[in-house]
Amino acid sequence: MSPAWHSSDRTDLAAVRAEVAGWLPAVTDSPRYYALTQELLDDEPMLRLVARIDNMPPLNLLFGAVQLLLGEPLPEITYEEFRAFVFANEDRIVEIGCTRRTQTNEVRRAAVILPWVARAAEEFGDQPIHAIDIGASAGLVTCLDRYAYDYGAGTIGDSPLVLSCENRGGFRAPDAVPTFASRTALDLAPVSIDDPDQVAWLDALIWPEHAERRERFSAALAIRRATEVTTIAGDAVETLPRAAAANPEGALLIWHTIALYQMPPGRLDALDDVIADLARSRPVVRVSFEPPPGRDPDIRVALQPRTAAPVAVAHPHGAWLDRP
């Protein structure tokens, strides 16, 4: 877990304030959230409410709960109006924050990992490639092969949804979108695309000013509904071997996009061991897009990415891709 986003001692208000301050750099793309969070830093009753949300990251969950209850993006309101709404709905907001998870709703993350996913697919050759997405949420990024991409030099692939990503690092764009023999989505609590309440929660996690992201989310949901994905619920340490065994022939292409920060270090070690074990008997490539503490998320291609050098850094929502 990232100490900048979650304090284990929920009774220590100084630690909770520090976690709120630690979240600020992650939310600069939302002026509305950023301004409200700055004022919250000096509001002790609000910090005590945040302390009740023993989940990560608490501020993202708090704002998501507010938008879920509003049923729409948070409008431009004063801090006093925001504060009044929060305290009027305190118990419900805390319940949502403690029982829900921040789960992937930004399909454009597929664009930042595609160059390395496609390169791995080329190296696998003609054998079947089985895609496995860890922390897949609703499986939007799991459908990586069903989207088209634009890195500034023309569209790659054929899809009603084109994911644009600014290629600041001058990386070689793929010649084509890879083809997968199967797609498997692993998640502790998978999001059902047929459950309006679960879909509404993913929508509520989109920051209020990001109308384009909401449009992209809606388009990705339509493609996901038309795409075959095997979803397995549970801890990836336990479910990944089952997913691999279900597709015994061919290569495994495993990825995760800003999901493993929620996994305790001991389970991260266990996951590394599971993937290393799979690689002893068949071709395996792992592409990681995760945030090191206090820095932009980076991409690493390795069976044990935490000990590997990053090959790129990228915007958390996939807006750009750059050299590390």
CATH number at 265 reads 3.40.50
Residues 113 and 227 in one domain: yes
Residue-level pLDDT, tens digit, the chain, 324 residues: 344 556 667 889 999 999 999 999 889 999 999 999 999 999 999 999 999 999 988 999 999 999 999 999 999 999 999 999 999 999 999 999 999 988 889 999 999 999 999 999 999 999 999 999 999 999 999 999 999 999 999 999 999 999 999 999 999 999 999 999 999 999 999 999 999 999 999 999 999 999 999 999 999 999 999 999 999 999 999 999 999 999 999 999 999 999 998 898 899 999 999 999 999 999 999 999 999 877 889 999 999 999 999 999 999 999 999 999
Cα angle 242-183-185, degrees, rounded to a multiple of 5: 60
Residues 133 and 89 in one domain: no
Tell me if 95 is assigned to some domain. yes
Residue with tokens 């996994």: 263
| Domain of 277, in residue numbers | 109-322
- From 75, 99, 123, give the residue that closes a domain: 99
Residue with tokens 């309440």: 197
183 has which bridge partners?
131
Distance of alpha carbon 314 from alpha carbon 321, whole angstroms? 4
Q: What pLDDT is stored for residue 248 in this prediction?
A: 96
Q: What pLDDT is stored for residue 3 in this prediction?
A: 40
Distance of alpha carbon 216 from alpha carbon 178, whole angstroms? 21
For residue 322, give both structure tokens.
């750059």
Q: What pLDDT is stored for residue 10 in this prediction?
A: 86
Residues 219 and 89 in one domain: no
Tell me if 1 is assigned to some domain. no
Report DSSP state, residue 142. Answer: G
256 has which bridge partners?
288
Q: What pLDDT is stored for residue 7 in this prediction?
A: 60
Residues 72 and 151 in one domain: no
Distance of alpha carbon 119 from alpha carbon 245, whole angstroms? 24
- From 99, 128, 147, give the residue that closes a domain: 99
Report DSSP state, residue 235. Answer: -
Q: What pLDDT is stored for residue 238 in this prediction?
A: 98
**pTM, 2 dp:** 0.93
Residues 123 and 89 in one domain: no
Peptide bond into 316 cis (omega under 30): no
Q: What pLDDT is stored for residue 5 in this prediction?
A: 53
Residues 254 and 156 in one domain: yes
Cβ 286 vs Cβ 305: under 8 Å: yes
Domains identified in the chain, total number:
2
Neighbours of 282 (CB within 10 A): 15
